[in-house]
A and B are shown apart, each in its own frame.
Chain A
């Protein structure tokens, strides 16, 4: 299947966004080949930021929305036509700052929408300011003396808001990211996948993450809320990756 467009790719050379794009394309190819989804039923949404360009590079139904608004747009489309598959790509500044209310309410509703966060812990397209996930002390153009805020814990937040699928991956691990994206798309209900993505221009975390990332144990069971919460909380110093939580719950658009 031809998933490329003629759009000129304008990410920085070597940007881990390429890893997310590759993982996603591979996942779609697998799912279409396995006849689990039809490519024409896929609707892809994005916000504004470096992540948002991903819609330009996909030969699928796409809607590049406004900063922070990809999630309600995906919800509107999904509710109007539940036959469609709605996937929203969002950035950390985009979804945790401008559009946080929408994330929480989409999780609460448990609409069958997949949200994929490109979390690079920095506003990159606006040349590097701190975001809600930047570590305390991050020196940026808007925080020259270091950010004075503690970072948000998006996984704990989304889990407690009611998401029925919560996972985290690493942009440079394409194969594992693909598997998680595939599981998220297959999941019926609100699925939340955060992808840690070093920004090689404004906040390069590749070296730090090398020793920090760790995948969840294969024996870990994903159906317990408190286990998931503990795992997420314990992963403060380590960067735990994998599917933390997955349960079946009633779906919003089935009942509206």
Chain B
């Protein structure tokens, strides 16, 4: 992969300083001038105070992940400068909010608060001074920044525009250094985070009900859908707990409506029994689980990949299920569409694994909503008798829904016969198990036609790095700088596992390294279980932070030298 010339800006301040909004506004400006971006956010679990930061990496080439190494720090408070100066490049600059000139190397002062006070503007408008100065630094036209402000703030825009101009002029007057951004090809049309992309994917597949109890980092799916529920005609419900959420979704599916739930690991732990209910009743069920580090409450606003083991074994008892782990916003969108369609096509529960880094990081993408709805196998209503669990060649029984004249739909959490009546007859019990598991090879065939794994880098290389989920960004960015020839294999479908494709990809490979955001190597264990391949070289990170591409390069090089 070609080298990438990435610039990274970090904006930091207290919670309530408007750090995130400022980062997004500047990102929109960069998007306007053809830049590709990756923006990630760090924040503690509190409402006011604490330290919030927004890290924004951009280039004229696709940016797969933000970098820890910083070109510019905008410090809205002192703590930001102190905490992050060790990440600053040698020639990097730190812009601080001060009306006194600073002489220390790397520092530039900007009277953000003073300008804001003089203007009698809201404290939050302070960030506009910084964005104006930044526009000067990157030689970007102020009118484009003003356009972004107008779109974002609508009628409350006056102060922001004036303050941005003052910031720009201050930088000009004080002879700040300037750099020019290399123009990029137009193309990325919008900024989106993994959660919204997933929500839009579900909407494309005809989502009708979304039911969720708030839990970071899945909550913004609930927020997005609640905000646009009328536009997309979706009923959005926040029930008493995750158990109710999952059960209500099952109830909605029983009524024939497409439903999904969203939570994090702890919330899904509560849904296990309901998940099993969806399994035996063959109810189409979709749950999106955005991971954060556990165990228990763990690090609520951190990222991690430690719930794969729980998900692939989710629910008591045995039944067919699907677990997909997208790696970026585009794949998150596809997973949203795929999840609902697979659930309805095969009448199974489908789980989607995201994580905080994917859910909340914003990237520039070309995503358009395309309606794609698979309604599944529906009952022929002219038939005399309807059996909800009728035996069939492919194990899929035609669906009918309550409210249909002349038939009854009986679902049962007990093992049941074709009609849905409880049974303890061992012959029927086994037959019903076999019926459900008949679907598994069909599910595998369907998923194998939809990118269950992806390969990057030199496809003929003898070295391979294997990864999953949001680690994709750091791995692909790192791949540009790995010394030896290497291929990267991303597993998207965890269940069913694409074992043949995976083994095929490893035919010429002599050295395999796994990269995961957990302490035990959960994908490595899954690969061992599914293929017998034991991966000994592991790069594992479980400090609640996402991988940094530059640090990862060093680790991969070290493993390759072993």
Contact = CB atoms under 8 A, between A and B. Distances in A.
Interface of A: 5-7, 38, 40-43, 48, 53, 55-56, 59-66, 69, 72-81, 83-84, 101-102, 104-105, 256
B257 interface: yes
Size band of the interface chain B makes with A: 35 or more
A56 B421 contact: yes
B145 interface: no
Interface of B: 208-209, 211, 235-237, 239-241, 243-244, 247-257, 259, 273-274, 277, 281, 401-414, 419-422
Given A73-B251, A102-B244, A40 B421 contact: no
Nearest to A7: B421
A77 B241 CA distance: 17
A63 B408 CA distance: 11
Contacts of B241: 101
Contacts, number: 133
A101 B242 CA distance: 12
Nearest to B208: A80
B273 A76 contact: no
B254 to A, nearest CB: 5
A105 B402 contact: no
A62 B248 contact: no
Given A43-B254, A64-B422, 18 more contacts: A40-B407, A62-B412, A63-B281, A64-B412, A64-B414, A65-B247, A66-B247, A66-B413, A69-B243, A69-B277, A72-B248, A72-B251, A73-B250, A79-B209, A79-B251, A80-B256, A81-B256, A101-B244
Nearest to A59: B408
Contacts of A104: 240
Given A101-B240, A102-B240, A76 B247 contact: yes
B402 A80 contact: no
A80 B406 contact: no
Contacts of A65: 247, 277, 413
B412 A61 contact: no
Contacts of A84: 255, 402-403
Contact of A76 (B236, B249, B403, B405): B249
Contacts of B256: 80-81
Nearest to B407: A40
Given A66-B273, A73-B254, A79-B252, A256 B237 contact: yes
Nearest to B423: A7
A40 B413 contact: no
A63 B240 contact: no
Nearest to B409: A61
B245 to A, nearest CB: 8
A11 to B, nearest CB: 13
